[in-house]
Amino acid sequence: MDTPDILTRPLASAAQPIRSIRLGSGRRTSVRLEPEFWEALQVIAALRGQSINHLVGLLARQQPDNLSSAIRVFTLRYFRRKAAGGFGQWNTELDL
């Protein structure tokens, strides 16, 4: 099995790109994450057939106080669960 590029390439610089995200309510917010988290979030959104905005909107509803932290925790839990062979049927809500 090939090792995914995200695991083998050097870590990104300390710069944390800021993206403007439109939440489900139409409200916009800015989120600052390391490039690896943006890439991982894109992978998760694609696997779920969702946009990053939709996925972040779901997270914002569950964890509105610290969205960047909620995204990092969700991403870590997602890939831990995937590595352990988890995920049956997709839920519309997220497990934080």
Query: In the numeric block, which tokens belong to residue 38?
Result: 């943006």
For residue 39, the model assigns a pLDDT of 93
Q: Is 71 inside a domain boundary?
A: yes
Residue 75: give the domain boundaries.
16-83
Q: Is 27 inside a domain boundary?
A: yes
| d(C-alpha 19, C-alpha 27), whole Å | 14
Q: Is 31 inside a domain boundary?
A: yes
Domain count along the chain = 1
List the CATH number of the domain containing 45. Answer: 1.10.1220.10
For residue 37, the model assigns a pLDDT of 92
Q: What is the pTM of this model?
A: 0.69
Q: Is 33 inside a domain boundary?
A: yes
Block means of pLDDT (10 residues each) for the chain, 96 residues, are 58 63 74 90 92 89 86 92 69 51
Burial of residue 89 (CB within 10 Å: 0-12, 13-18, 19+) is exposed
